[in-house]
Amino acid sequence: MSEIESKARDIIGQAISQTFPQNPELLDNLDGLIQLLKGTRLSADAKDRKIALNFLCEAEVDMQACEILYHKKIYSRAMFFLQQAVEKAAKGYVLGFGYMDLREIYTHNTPVLLLEASLEKTGVRNWAKQISDQRIGTKIDKAYDTLHDKDSTQVISQVTHKEIKQFLTRIKEYAHTAIDLQNRIFQQLRVIGGSEKKPVFIESLSDWTVLYDLAIITHTHEAVSRYPNEAITPSTSYTNKLGIVRATLDITKHLKTTIQSVKGKINSIA
């Protein structure tokens, strides 16, 4: 390890410790993060970036469909298009920043798994997840912990509006924390002779946290909002009393802001 890399490691470790004093485990994958900052697996070509931007544009169209259906009180299908918007935004993100190629983004069933897998090859998947995984014990969290159990989608679908609002508040807090962390790291890296341009991962960390948490909230509605089962008939079960329905416009607000942020960063890549 060079002297600059050694200094960078110390700086990043200190920044993480200051930003997350209650989470010392974030330092466990520090070496993997150093490799990622050096540019590992983050160089989408122009063709992939163009397709990524198209994914993000289609996500915006899905949000428009969601809002139209929401205002017409066709809530079940509004939730379907909300989930689709998050999924397309996640695919645009991982493709645009070069985490995955076009073939790879079609091999993951949910945006949650897609976003997790996007960091698998970097060695810092668990590190990034920790930013979003400081659990508050809601039904969303409990259901996500048992994602493959038969009843988990049922639990997520009926989570209360209050619980979703707590989750959305947490998303905002994590996004601000991620921005604070990326700025601390970048400022210190410049001092020791680093690049004048933020590494792509640092630049996009806050967007990853928002998309990851929105994916947790919405992923189950891809199926539950369309297909009846013993407990749910979508056309009658999705009412304005359901938590996810009441939170729809708050969720689209978060997603719109994040999509615009991701678009801007992808367009800035040389």
Question: CA angle, corner 91, sides to 85 and 93, nearest 5?
Answer: 100
What confidence score (pLDDT) does residue 212 get?
Answer: 83
**Which of 239, 220, 68, 78 has the alpha carbon at shortest distance from 155?**
220
**Please, is 206 exposed, middle or buried when counting C-beta atoms within 10 Å of its C-beta (0-12, 13-18, 19+)?**
buried
Question: What band does 135 get if pLDDT is binned at 50, 70 and 90?
Answer: very low
Say whether pLDDT at 198 is over 60.
Answer: no
Q: Which of 33-37, 81-85, 122-126, 146-150 has the highest mean pLDDT?
A: 81-85
8 A C-beta contact, residue 159 and residue 243: yes
Section 247-254 average pLDDT = 94
What's CA 4's distance to the chain center, in Å? 31
What is the dihedral angle through the alpha carbons of 201, 207, 143, 55, rounded to the nearest 10 degrees? -100
**Which of 7-11, 46-50, 195-199, 216-220 is predicted with the least confidence, judged by mean pLDDT?**
195-199
Residue 70 is predicted with a pLDDT of 98
Which pLDDT tens digit goes with each residue over 42-56?
A: 556 888 899 999 999
Q: Please determine, for residue 4, whether its predicted confidence score (pLDDT) is greater than 70.
A: no
**Residue, of 201 and 118, whose pLDDT is higher:** 118
* The predicted structure's pLDDT at residue 229: 78
238 and 76 Cβ atoms separated by less than 8 Å: yes
What digits encode the pLDDT tens for the residues 56-74? Answer: 999 999 999 999 999 999 9
Sequence letter at residue 129: K
pLDDT band, very low/low/confident/very high, at 185 (cuts 50, 70, 90): low
Name the residue with higher pLDDT: 84 or 131. Answer: 84
Higher-confidence residue of 260 and 123: namely 260
Tokens of 14: 């200190």
Question: What was the pLDDT predicted at 41?
Answer: 46
* pLDDT interval class at 18 (50, 70, 90): confident
Closest to 269 in 3D by CA, of 36, 47, 33:
47
Q: Can you tell me the distance from the alpha carbon of 63 to that of 71, in angstroms, rounded to the nearest whole number?
A: 12
This prediction's pTM:
0.79
Q: In a 10 Å sphere around its CB, with 0-12 CB exposed, 13-18 middle and 19+ buried, how is residue 27 labelled?
A: middle
| pLDDT computed for residue 79 by the predictor | 96
